[in-house]
Amino acid sequence: MTDMTSENPVILSSKEKPKAKKLKLSSIIDHSILIIGSLFMLMPVLMAFTTSTHDHVTIHKEGLMLSIGDQFAENYGAAMFEKGGFTETVDGLTMLMNSLILGIGFAVGKIVISVLAAYAIVYFRLKFATLAFWIIFTTLLLPLEVRILPSYEVVHSFGLSNTYTGLILPLIASATGTFYFRQFFMSVPDELVEAAKIDGAGPFKFLIDILVPISKTMVAAIFIIMFVFGWNQYLWPALITTDETMFTIIRGIRQIILAYAEGNNIPEHGQAMALAVIAVLPPVLIVVFFQSWFVKGLVESEK
Amino acid sequence: MQVTLKNITKTYGNNVQAVKPVNLEINQGELIVLVGPSGCGKSTILRMVAGLEDITGGELYIGDRQVNHVDPADRDIAMVFQNYALYPHMSVAQNMGYGLKNRGVTKDEITQKVRDAADILNLSEFLDRKPSQLSGGQRQRVAMGRAIVRNPSLFLFDEPLSNLDAKLRNQMRIEIKKLQRRLGVTSIYVTHDQVEAMTLADRIVVLNGGVVEQVGTPSEIYNNPASLFVASFMGSPPMNLINLAKPVTHKNDKNELKLVNKLFGSQDHNNIQIGIRPEKVQYTYDASENSLPFTIDYTEELGASRLMHGKIADQSFILSDTSETEVKSNNIHLSFPAEALYKFDNETGRKIEL
């Protein structure tokens, strides 16, 4: 008995010491990894911002800058409001507008199409519903890049080049969205449909009155993802728009550097960086804005 | 409204007949309870009446109208679901008024009707809340409100109380019964809980494996069970059944079986089971000519009564004692009043008239 009581504290103290030490070490490692990781992600953005506040000669001479320069207002003003490009008809504001139309049209279009597709697959006794779903799903293997030539051919022959329709429509079929909504709809209890049936709601009413409102957090999540995805489209807009007034901001960044470089001038790096920073802002704002909304939806936890 | 089921059957795609021909006539204002173990077809029958499930065969009448192929919304019914199935994004008032809105009732009238229904169900102060802000019992009441607000000719209840805790369940059971009496609407109520069935029903329909075992008032079902299944399913604790044809090996069990056989004088027909309700068994401490020795293995104290478990001829046997004095010895002698005994045929499972 005496042995045991004297032994116990010894075991405890010898056990506790290395444990505390180990915990400290591992948390240091964990945090270093996190800090390095976030620096890795943040530095390019930060450098883009700081560089954008210098004039183009400094940048051309000294490369990317980490200090803050004095050209903030000039660069941003020029990037936003100065007409540029070959035809001198497009400014940053127009491009921002175009990107916004593409981003919102892309996201809304994708949501509408995938809600309808998922609704059909989940709630209607179609003969080959599962097959149809898997066919939709396998199109994930065929991104736009694979079918870009035929897509271009079709859209162009419809006379949709240089239109918003041509910019958005070919992109809105979404296997991912359909998949997410299908999973969500399948988790909605059957009794809800049955109660609605007894309450005299037809298929369309059920979709609008009940299914869409209870999917709103889902819609918000997909909207965020799809807006950013649409905003960042480069290849398709580059192909389908040749009219500079239809350019998106992502394309415009490159165009500014090119246009100025043509005439033996020093490229306007400062303005390009300013445009890049502006281009990053809307997706960030969308995420921030929808996130608060998102959390609210989660906390209420209906269903 | 009178409801008539004529040879209603349900066969699923894989040729499983979930409901064998069911005939039932439900009178105006009657509360019928369908009871049975899970998979007995009770919910399927209810869902066929609601129109949520296609009827494979037979005819269904609500009133004089055959409704086999009528849309659920046009059958003039209302249904209360087990998980309430409230629309989570709508307020209580919107939930209750949704069916009326779809039927083109004017806004003022909806408001009035919802308010009336809320008054009946004590929900007036919750009309603006969302279902997620309500307790289980309140949600249950909203589901009831959604049903009564339309003033339908038939109520359907699909295990509406099984998501509530025991105390609330008893309370809601009484409320449902009162409400149904007050509104006088014909109702079909599905449950697996035989206590619920006994307390609520005007008539009970006991189902087993898609077959109607018995239809009758609660007391008929309890006091005059038509089959082995009904006898063992209804009543808590269930009826004691002693299978006289059970092969036993132990010498003691053999003797007991012989004794039981002798007591019940059933030499002529051995392939039967003897049944007796636990509360009808009498016990004494001394052996007599018509008594059976019994050893109590364990006792369950329920407060109002005491359940004593043991075995007769290797078959479990329970007796229920409501007297206040505890049993003094674990070895007692049982006697069985002749009028409390039931005989069932082992092969058909049906009751044999004594």
Query: What is the 3-class SS of B75-112, one letter each residue?
Result: CCEEEECCCCCCCCCCCHHHHHHHHHHHCCCCHHHHHH
What is the rounded distance in angstroms from the CA atom of residue A80 to the CA atom of residue A278?
A: 9
CATH number where A158 lies? 1.10.3720.10
- Condensed to tens digits (0 to 9), the pLDDT of residues A67-114 reads 888 888 888 888 888 776 666 777 888 888 999 999 999 999 999 999
Structure tokens at B7: 């040879």
Handedness of CA B32, B35, B38, B41 (dihedral sign): negative
Domain spanning B240-352: which CATH class is it, in words? mainly beta
- Condensed to tens digits (0 to 9), the pLDDT of residues A145-180 reads 888 888 899 999 998 888 999 989 888 888 888 988
Whether residue A300 lies within 8 A of chain B, CB to CB, comes out as yes
Structure tokens at B248: 């036993």
Structure tokens at B265: 């004088």
If asked whether residues A101 and A214 sit together in one domain, one would say: yes
Look at residue A6 and tell me whether its pLDDT is greater than 70: no
Name the amino acid, one letter, at B115: R
If asked whether residues A267 and A167 sit together in one domain, one would say: yes
Name the one residue in this structure whose structure tokens are 């392939």. Answer: B271
What is the rounded distance in angstroms from the CA atom of residue A133 to the CA atom of residue A139?
A: 10
How many CB atoms neighbour CB A273 within 10 A? 28
Domain boundaries, position A33: 2-51
Tell me, which fold does domain B3-233 have in CATH? Rossmann fold (3.40.50)
Q: Could you give the C-alpha distances from A71 to A58, A66, A272, in angstroms and in order?
A: 11, 14, 13
Residue A64 lies in a domain: no
Chain B residues near residue A302 by CB distance under 8 angstroms: 88-89, 130-132
What is the rounded distance in angstroms from the CA atom of residue B125 to the CA atom of residue B130?
A: 12
Q: Could you give the C-alpha distances from B264 to B215, B260, B273, in angstroms and in order?
A: 28, 6, 11
Backbone angles phi, psi at B10, to 5 degrees: -140, 120
Structure tokens at A192: 């809800």
Chain B residues near residue A201 by CB distance under 8 angstroms: 73, 98, 102
Cβ within 8 Å of B, A 160-219: 189, 191-192, 194-201, 205, 209-210, 213-214, 216
What is the rounded distance in angstroms from the CA atom of residue B93 to the CA atom of residue B97?
A: 6
Domain ranges of chain B: 3-233, 240-352
- Condensed to tens digits (0 to 9), the pLDDT of residues B77-132 reads 999 998 889 999 999 999 999 999 999 899 999 999 999 999 988 899 999 999 99
Look at residue A49 and tell me whether its pLDDT is greater than 60: yes
Sequence-ordered list of residues with C-beta below 8 angstroms from that of B252, at least 6 positions apart, any chain: none
Do β-strands B154-158 and B77-80 pair in parallel, antiparallel, or remain unpaired?
parallel
If asked whether residues A98 and A241 sit together in one domain, one would say: yes
If asked whether residues A45 and A141 sit together in one domain, one would say: no
What is the rounded distance in angstroms from the CA atom of residue B23 to the CA atom of residue B5?
A: 5
Name the one residue in this structure whose structure tokens are 């005439």. Answer: A263
If asked whether residues A43 and A147 sit together in one domain, one would say: no
If asked whether residues A8 and A97 sit together in one domain, one would say: no
Backbone angles phi, psi at B246, to 5 degrees: -70, 130
Q: Nearest by CB to B73, which of A197, A213, A216? A: A197
Contact, B186 vs B3, CB < 8 A?
yes
Among A103-112, A266-275, B261-270, B282-291, the minimum mean pLDDT is found in: B261-270
If asked whether residues A279 and A149 sit together in one domain, one would say: yes
If asked whether residues A38 and A135 sit together in one domain, one would say: no
